[in-house]
Amino acid sequence: MNPRFVRTKYLACLLTVMILVQPAVCLSGEAPEGARPAGSGLVPIIEAEGLIARAKECFFDFRYADARRALGGAIAILGDGSREVESAPLLLDAHLTDAMISNSLKREDEARQSLISAMEIDPLLELSEAEYPPSMVSLSRAVRSSVRERPAGSLKVSSRTKEAQVYVNGIGRGAAPLEIAGLPEGPYAVSLAAEGHRTETRQVQVAANETSSVDVRLKRQRAGRKNAEGDEGSDSRKRPIYKQPLFWGAVGALAVGGIIGGVLAASSGGPSRGDIKVTFK
């Protein structure tokens, strides 16, 4: 077989694979591993949840190094500063699990730092004696006392939307209206959510000895739209076909397919000139 034809055929196969794979990646909406931002849909949340569960399994098997590696992966996925409704509870769980590991290893300073990170998410955190060992509960109380020494204020949240649930730094606090006292001064992410409505988040600065107020009226969620929590709707079917990725993927595949066919035809050598005989009568 003509070596030139073999090389061209190999190149054509490679280009075909690239054309078929690339549109699939784009249409799936999935970014490569490590390139997804925190909170970009359910997949990172599920990954982080699995890593935290694995860390707990390793912790109970006394494999502390493996547990910490899993926790590090979960925190990296969630983003250490995340205050989103979906990710904040998992991030809080990761910091508490890390504190448990440090406490078991008699590393009090590291356990204290993990508890401080947890209380930055939930300043009102209190560990239950029924769920945590006495040494952890005692340490958490000491950390909470130091946190509460900071000047504190109150937060008042109301909404004209019935049964709107309030989340402060991603942690559920109950239904609006409500008032939360004893919050250390500083910035907070206040989110309100209700069934059939879009989730709204406000950044609020709590000042010492003052009450900061938030009043939010939630907008109704349109059917088939992508809501604030990342659920995909079906409105893509309403877009013109030329604005849909599938259309341009097909166009690109046809165009490159034509180029490949031309290259194959030109480089296959074709029939030799001596084999063609034309007879005129």
Residue with tokens 């995340």: 82
CA 281 to chain centre: 77
Q: Count the Cβ atoms, other than its own, within 10 Å of residue 247.
A: 13
> pLDDT tens digit string along 248-260?
566 566 665 666 6
* 43: phi then psi, degrees, rounded to nearest 5: -60, -50
Question: Quick one: which H or E segment has residue 215?
Answer: strand 211-216
The pTM of the full predicted model, rounded to 2 decimals, is 0.65
pLDDT of residue 15: 47
Ranges of each domain in the chain: 1-28+237-270, 42-149, 150-229
pLDDT in tens, 50-80: 999 999 999 999 999 999 999 999 999 998 6
Copy the structure tokens of residue 131. Answer: 């769920």
> What pLDDT was estimated at residue 246?
59
Distance from chain centroid for Cα 86: 9
The token pair that represents 210 in the structure block: 């003052």
Which regions of the chain are under pLDDT 50? Answer: 2-11, 14-40, 226-238, 242, 271-281
CATH topology of domain 150-229: Immunoglobulin-like (2.60.40)
pLDDT in tens, 91-124: 999 999 999 999 999 999 999 999 999 999 999 9
Burial class (CB in 10 A: 0-12, 13-18, 19+), 140: buried
- Is the domain defined by 42-149 classed in CATH 1.25.40? yes
The amino acid at residue 31 is A
